[in-house]
């Protein structure tokens, strides 16, 4: 309902813009359009655009910084842009093959991970992540256009202005170049200008990636890492919630006998516990007292055994091999108090593990649970173990964790999470802009990159300019079809999920 409501408000907002522009009186419309033009604004259905010349001096200043270094910088961008144009086509072909393979399966979820995904807020982008998405997208667009502007001024092409726009809900930026100047320079100079955008997006992606990896170093004076995974959020009503569950600020250091020093360990330990047999616990033989009343075991529908028929929240059915000296060894079952059984005990896979670490006679008792269900002890000192019974991925989705533990009480838990998440979005979106804009497709940087490349390379082979333009047209048509097919199938995958 919240998503539908936001789209409904969006529709009426744009509808009111359309009415105010097209159905007002002529006098009001002229004054209204004059007011918009004086402020560099342009309004149309689902599109708002703003343009200004206030940043031209900044662009000119940047274009005068060390001309030789800028020449090498944008020449490197030219090489990268040409390579990226070829690489983006190969990537889209591979992605199209993967998406088609997913479509032909019975379940659209089955298949490899897509290299490029269409992002639709509310479908595959949580509303809690919208701020990260839009800020990272806008910053990527600004850096992209900054590259075009500085490269153009360095090649003596005038910049008419810089602007930003919002199309439906997606923000972006642009630079307006003087076309006459652009047509007078050589194709190689044009290539430096056209490739500068994707080059700067690639560099921004590398910078964000480096910052992400060096984040522990930057935050070292205030936050420590390697001591466990810090809980930043617990989903209310989830398996980790409750008086004896996890709380915000707890530091998880282990899952059963698997040590946890960070979020990566948490995920890998849960994956390991999901695909290995249930862990057992060493219990002294003397602890298996008759007063704990062995329940009569019965088979569940999946074929596993249970012996606790009263659905107790404190008892659990355990299985173990009958200790030696009491006749033939056979598997027995007992319904026993779960916390009392596993508190302070060593994990084991068999009776031999218990014999090697205990002087008293001990047996390895194992919770008897349904298939894929696991019993997991979560260590979060100084609190007692949190005991989890269920499907391990449910535990992973129940909590949010971070590697960064504040050294001082006044530090905010979410600051490293914000920086980490924003860097990940910046890497993804800036990298995506570099890839998509490199595609030889109409209305993208790839169109102008391809045209300039053909003019620079085919002028001696295909002397007729009309033939070169025809070759470029068909290449652009193929690239546009490839990108459109990827987007259409990507939207299908989003809605099918």
* R_g (Cα) of the chain, nearest Å: 31
In sequence order, what are the residues at sequence separation of 6 or more whose Cβ sits closer than 8 angstroms to the Cβ of residue 301? none
Task: Tell me the C-alpha distance between 399 and 251, whole Å.
Answer: 12
User: What does the alpha-carbon distance between residue 245 and residue 138 come to, in Å, rounded to a whole number?
Assistant: 40
- Estimate to the nearest angstrom the gap between the alpha carbon of 421 and the chain centroid: 8
Map 293-338 to HEC letters: CCCCCEECCCCCEECCCCCCCCEEEEEEECCCCCCCCCEEEEEEEH
Active site residue 145: yes
CA-CA distance, 29 to 228, in Å (whole number)? 63
Rounded to 5°, angle at Cα 344 from 339 and 349: 90
Q: Which residues pair with 306 in a beta bridge?
A: 298
Using alpha carbons, select from 159, 187, 186 the residue that is nearest to residue 173. 159
Tokens 């909590």 correspond to 399
| Sheet order of strands, 251-252 included | 251-252, 229-234, 399-402
Yes or no: say if 454 and 97 are a contact pair by the CB < 8 Å rule: no
SS (H, E, C) 150-199: HHHHHCCCCEEEEEEEEECCEEEEEEEECHHHHHHCCHHHHHHHHHHHHH
Q: Which of 10, 33, 145, 352 is catalytic?
A: 145
Can you state the angle between helices 67-103 and 187-213, rounded to 10 degrees? Answer: 70
Q: How many C-beta atoms surround the C-beta of residue 120 within 10 A?
A: 12
Q: Cis omega (within 30 of 0) on the bond before 382? A: yes
Q: Which residues of 202-228 are buried (b: 16+ CB within 10 A; e: fewer)?
A: bbbbeebbebbeebbeebeeebbbeeb
Interhelix angle 414-438/187-213, rounded to 10 degrees, is 160
Long-range interactions of 38-44: CB distance < 8 A, separation 24+? 40/161, 40/163, 43/17, 44/17, 44/18
In the 8-state DSSP scheme, what is residue 113? Answer: P
Residues catalogued as catalytic: 145
């Amino acid at each position: 309902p919240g998503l539908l409501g936001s789209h409904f408000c969006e529709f009426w907002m744009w509808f009111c813009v359309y009415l105010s522009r097209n159905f007002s009186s002529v006098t009001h419309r002229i004054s209204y359009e004059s007011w918009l033009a004086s402020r560099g604004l342009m309004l149309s259905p689902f599109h708002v655009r703003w343009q200004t010349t206030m940043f031209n001096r900044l662009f000119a200043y940047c274009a005068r910084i060390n001309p030789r270094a800028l020449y090498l910088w944008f020449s490197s961008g030219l090489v990268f842009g040409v390579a990226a144009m070829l690489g983006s086509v190969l990537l889209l072909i591979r992605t199209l093959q993967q998406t088609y393979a997913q479509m032909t399966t019975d379940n659209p979820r089955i298949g490899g991970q897509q290299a490029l995904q269409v992002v639709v807020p509310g479908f595959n982008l949580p509303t809690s992540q919208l701020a990260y998405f839009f800020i990272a997208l806008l910053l990527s667009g600004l850096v992209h256009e900054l590259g075009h502007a500085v490269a153009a001024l360095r090649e003596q092409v005038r910049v008419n202005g810089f602007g930003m726009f919002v199309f439906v809900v997606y923000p972006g930026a642009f630079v307006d170049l003087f076309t006459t100047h652009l047509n007078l320079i050589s194709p190689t100079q044009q290539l430096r200008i056209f490739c500068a955008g994707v080059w700067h997006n690639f560099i921004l992606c590398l910078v964000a990636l480096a910052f992400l990896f060096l984040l522990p170093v930057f935050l070292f004076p205030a936050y420590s890492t390697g001591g466990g995974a810090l809980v930043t959020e617990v989903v209310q009503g989830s398996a980790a919630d409750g008086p004896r569950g996890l709380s915000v600020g707890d530091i998880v250091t282990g899952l059963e006998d698997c040590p946890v020093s960070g979020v990566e360990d948490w995920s890998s330990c849960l994956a390991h516990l999901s695909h290995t047999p249930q862990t057992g616990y060493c219990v002294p033989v003397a602890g298996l007292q008759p007063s704990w009343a062995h329940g009569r075991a019965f088979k569940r529908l999946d074929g596993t055994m249970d012996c606790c028929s009263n659905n107790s929240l404190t008892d659990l059915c355990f299985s173990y091999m009958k200790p030696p000296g009491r006749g033939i060894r056979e598997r027995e079952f007992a319904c026993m108090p779960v916390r009392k059984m596993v508190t302070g005990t060593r994990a084991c896979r068999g009776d031999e593990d218990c014999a090697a670490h205990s002087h008293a006679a001990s047996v390895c008792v194992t919770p008897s649970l349904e298939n894929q269900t696991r019993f997991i002890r979560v260590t979060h000192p100084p609190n007692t173990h949190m005991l989890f019974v269920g499907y391990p991925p449910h535990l992973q989705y129940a909590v949010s964790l971070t590697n960064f533990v504040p050294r001082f009480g006044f530090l905010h838990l979410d600051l490293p999470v914000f920086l980490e998440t924003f860097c990940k979005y910046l890497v993804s979106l800036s990298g995506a802009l570099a890839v998509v804009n490199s595609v030889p497709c109409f209305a993208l940087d790839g169109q102008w990159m391809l045209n300039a490349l053909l003019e620079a390379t085919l002028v001696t082979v295909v002397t007729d300019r009309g033939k070169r333009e025809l070759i470029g047209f068909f290449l652009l048509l193929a690239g546009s079809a490839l990108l459109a097919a990827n987007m259409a199938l990507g939207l299908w995958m989003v809605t099918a999920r």
